[in-house]
Structure 1
Amino acid sequence: MRTNLRDLCVTTNVIPRVKLHPAEGPEVSEIICGNMRGSYFGTPEKVLELIHACIEVGITTFDTAEICGGSNEVLFGDALKMESGLRDKIEIITKCNICFPSAQDRNSSYECVVTEVKRLLHELGVIYIDVLLIHGLIT
């Protein structure tokens, strides 16, 4: 059964927020919108509609990852660029450590992480990421 975001809003009123650390660090929405299938929406305009629907119910945190292939980040970034100030209303969580062309390739070296963060910042069109997660840390 699929849940419509607006129906969720009616039943829950507003999604609660949580601190990732009691003393410091970002606060995020308790429900996070994943973007693995973000390219399904096809256009930045449709992604912008999704972002607004999420914000309307209190979902202000969005997750992406390099394993999505990069096109989702570009599409999400293009949607953010359509509305001045929208980036300041949301939190972005992203992940790195899975290097294409093979999702089996992992690299958690300093150089790979820095390169990946620079790529993500560029593709999202933002100057910061709120939370960076490492997919399957390799030492």
Structure 2
Amino acid sequence: MQTITLGVSPLRSSRLAYGCWRVTGTWDPRQVTAEGWKAGKEAIRTAYEAGYTLFDNADIYCGGEAERLLGEVLRETPGMRERVLIATKCGIRPPNTPQPGLPQRYDFSAEHILRSVEGSLQRLGVETLDLLLLHRPDYLADPAEVAEAFSRLRQQGKVRCFGLSNCRPTLVTALQCACPMPLVVHQVEISLLQRSALTDGTLDQCLIEHITPQAWSPLAGGLLADGASRQLRWQQQYQTHQVLEELDALARQYETTRSVIALAWLLKHPAGIMPIVGSTRPERIREAVRATEINLTRDEWYRLLVAAQGEPLP
């Protein structure tokens, strides 16, 4: 698979990342089954064998069980840890933790960041995270406090590089101004059905600051995947019919699938968007790699954009 450098860091990654949020088969740690655990491990191993070298996780994915599962695969697969990048996220505090009655909230305090990293390292069974992202923007975030936590983690050798997720561009600027190290990744939702990053300054900022944008839900939760035409209710809500027709036309032209074309659309952007593939189906994980071999023309890219918008550009 093609590779890409993350921002201005020394981290070199596969062009596609593998996202671990679905690997346990459930969001509730009480509902994890032996069968689901086995399938999740197979998905991670498939991604590794297919050339994915960045594995994205978070402390809230299945209450930390997704990190435990990835850690188990790392221990069972000789040489894997040395060949891959481990990324995880923190900053979301679920409701009723650490005591009943507390709301879901976001927390960029130094205390929470440091404690979260210790938990992730333990669950993953590693000594160092290659990449730590703050998951959702904390409205009470103090950039100086975040910088203090990041500096301590780097000095202790617990985190190599840092980034953000789902933040508005102005918060990215505030945090970057305070942090002594570059923020190398910004993970946001980007797809043909979620295009706000094109217009809200997110991708422009990534170009200016040399930040690598990572796209979560690059297939819009499966709406742009093969078989999505059966999801009639969601298709009506998002008006996907026209864009699916264009995806299918290009898929026939390139002798591939609509999923691959939808990923190739993201890869075309000069900011170097890194799609995060989240399927747990081995054939889909392998298939996605084909997108790195397709270079859509500008005309094809805009045909898809217009189809997704449902109206001509002004």
CA contact (8 A) 2:24 2:66 kept: yes
Structure-1 separation of matches of 2:125 and 2:40: 15
What is the TM-score normalised by the length of structure 2?
0.37
Aligned to 1:91: 85
Q: Which amino acid aligns with 1:30?
A: R
Aligned to 2:4: 18
Which structure 2 residues correspond to residues 21-60 of structure 1 after superposition, within 5 A? 21-22=7-8, 24-40=9-25, 42-43=36-37, 46-60=39-53
Provide the identity percentage. Answer: 33
Aligned to 1:134: 134
Structure-2 separation of matches of 1:52 and 1:39: 14
Q: Secondary structure at the match of 2:7?
A: coil
CA contact (8 A) 2:41 2:69 kept: no
Structure-1 separation of matches of 2:20 and 2:45: 14
Q: Which has the higher Rg, Structure 1 or Structure 2?
A: 2
CA contact (8 A) 1:47 1:79 kept: no
Structure-1 separation of matches of 2:107 and 2:91: 5
Q: Which amino acid aligns with 1:113?
A: I
Which structure 2 residues correspond to residues 43-122 of structure 1 after superposition, within 5 A? 43=37, 46-68=39-61, 69-101=63-95, 104-122=104-122
Q: CA deviation at 1:46?
A: 4.0
Structure-1 separation of matches of 2:67 and 2:118: 12
User: Where does structure 2 lack aligned partners over 5 or more consecutive residues?
Assistant: 26-34, 97-102, 142-314
CA contact (8 A) 2:14 2:54 kept: yes
Structure-1 separation of matches of 2:11 and 2:50: 19
Q: Which has the higher helix share?
A: 2
Structure-2 separation of matches of 1:38 and 1:50: 7
Tell me: CA distance 1:54–1:28, structure 2 relative to 1, closer, same or farther (3 Å).
same
Q: CA deviation at 1:75?
A: 1.3
Q: CA deviation at 1:132?
A: 0.5
Q: CA deviation at 1:48?
A: 4.0
Aligned to 1:11: none
Q: Which amino acid aligns with 1:94?
A: T
What is the TM-score normalised by the length of structure 1?
0.78
Q: CA deviation at 1:63?
A: 0.6
What do the CA deviations read for 1:32-54 (whole angstroms, capped 9, x no partner)?
111111102633x5444323321
User: Where does structure 1 lack aligned partners over 5 or more consecutive residues?
Assistant: 1-14
Q: CA deviation at 1:125?
A: 0.5
State the structure with bigger RCO (CA 8 A, min sep 6), 1 or 2.
1
